[in-house]
Amino acid sequence: MKNVLVLGGTGFVGAHVCEKLIRAGLRVTVPTRRAVNARNILHLPALTVLECDVHDEASLTQAMQGIDAVVNLVAILHGSPAAFDRVHRALPEKIARACAAQGVRQLVHISALGTDHQQPQACVSNYLRSKGEGEAALMRILGWPQDKAPANANANATDALAATPHTGLTVLRPSVIFGAQDQFLNVFAKLQKWFPVMPLAGADAKFQPVWVEDVAQAVVQSVVAGLSGAPRWQVFELVGTKVYRLRELVQLAARLSGLGGGHGRPVIGLPRWMGKVQAAMLGLMPGKPLMSADNLDSMQVDNVATSQYPGLQAFGITPTALAAIAPLYLVRDPAEKGLLGIRHRPH
């Protein structure tokens, strides 16, 4: 039985990935700072939780001992430039060196639409810029054959020594991901329970939402393909069936939740300067921000497929329509739906 290390396996997407990897007959290890963080996946068989700080390169390298494939799902949506750099650029560098040191056969890395590994500094936000730098670091260290090792000012002798043709790299760039425990449609639905009108920054930004189950299946197929033959190098864009403007998604979340008698709430698009004010104020609120100035910057780039890279169809996956899935979890408490709700259901 092959062994897969899933970084970020305790999160929304990670739980679905872990379940599908196990169903595919693979043994899964999930590193996390504290085992309690993995309580919602502990019921899965053939899964080991390892207390480990993945940002510590020595610990990360040790965790990859005996591992055949690695999946990196670790990401943040909000934070300072230093925080984005730590998670999206520095961590992938450590992952790549650890994979090379331990002879890992395949690395599957979840990135984002709108980034650019060839010119990351040209990206419009800290989020997209750091994502591009992370991709470039992985390609450089692992000896990406299609890009002739992207140039990077942070390249050093250690990277050169780590370069190996034996670890393949699959980069998956999804659009915004929806599903029963998402922090996207659920958030908009809850907000509109309290507000009769929804003022919205970036109202005309475009998205092509993709179902979490489709993303998880693409991850698993990437792992299996990389373990069954020669190491693979490929970039994929994972998107759903339809392009929506943000205002349409907000209204859809309200309608599917039954708000306003099923008609939803009016959405008022804010001009960019007011959107910046709204994003700045929301970013200062305690807890996890609903939106930040960096999020608004990211929305300057359409979060839709560019057609430069293959999509879900290349995996034999037919994208699932948002309208077919969202009503199943927006109507009721999302904790009772999907993989993470298994423990709450009557048996």
Residue pair 70/107 in contact (Cβ under 8 Å)? The answer is yes
Confidence of residue 275 (pLDDT cuts 50, 70, 90): confident
Measured CA to CA, the distance from residue 135 to residue 131 in angstroms comes to 6
User: What pairing do the DSSP bridges indicate for beta strands 198-200 and 233-238?
Assistant: unpaired
Please state the three-class secondary structure of the chain as a single string: CCEEEEECCCCHHHHHHHHHHHHCCCEEEEEECCHHHHCCCCCCCCEEEEECCCCCHHHHHHHCCCCCEEEECCCCCCCCHHHHHHHHHHHHHHHHHHHHHHCCCEEEEECCCCCCCCCHHHCCCHHHHHHHHHHHHHHHHHCCCCCCCCCCCCCCHHHHHHCCCCCEEEEEEECCEECCCCCCHHHHHHHHHHCCCEEECCCCCEECCEEHHHHHHHHHHHHHHHHHCCCCEEEEEECCCCCEEHHHHHHHHHHHCCHHHHCCCCEEECCHHHHHHHHHHHHCCCCCCCCCHHHHHHCCCCECCCCCCCCHHHHCCCCCCHHHHHHHHHCCCHHHCCHHHHHHCCC
Confidence of residue 154 (pLDDT cuts 50, 70, 90): very low
189 residue type, one letter = A
The answer, yes or no, to whether residue 151 has pLDDT greater than 70, is no
Residue 287: per-residue pLDDT = 65
Encoding tokens for residue 242? 């339809």
The answer, yes or no, to whether residue 340 has pLDDT greater than 70, is no
Residue 339: per-residue pLDDT = 43
Query: Mean of the pLDDT values across residues 93-112?
Result: 97
Residue pair 171/138 in contact (Cβ under 8 Å)? The answer is yes
Please provide the average confidence, as pLDDT, over all residues in the chain: 86
Confidence of residue 204 (pLDDT cuts 50, 70, 90): very high
Tokens 């050093």 identify what position?
Answer: 156
The answer, yes or no, to whether residue 65 has pLDDT greater than 80, is yes
Q: Would you give the distance in Å from CA 257 to the centre of its chain?
A: 25
- How many residues does this entry show for the chain? 347
What are the angstrom distances between the C-alpha of 46 and each of 4, 128, 347?
11, 35, 21
Confidence of residue 344 (pLDDT cuts 50, 70, 90): very low
169: phi then psi, degrees, rounded to nearest 5 = -135, 125
Residue pair 88/75 in contact (Cβ under 8 Å)? The answer is yes
Measured CA to CA, the distance from residue 233 to residue 139 in angstroms comes to 9
- Among 96-105, 146-155, 259-268, the range scoring the smallest mean pLDDT is 146-155
Q: Would you give the distance in Å from CA 321 to the centre of its chain?
A: 19
15-55: pLDDT as tens digits: 999 999 999 999 999 999 999 999 999 999 999 999 999 99
Query: Mean of the pLDDT values across residues 117-129?
Result: 95
Within 10 angstroms of residue 230's Cβ, the number of other Cβ atoms is 11
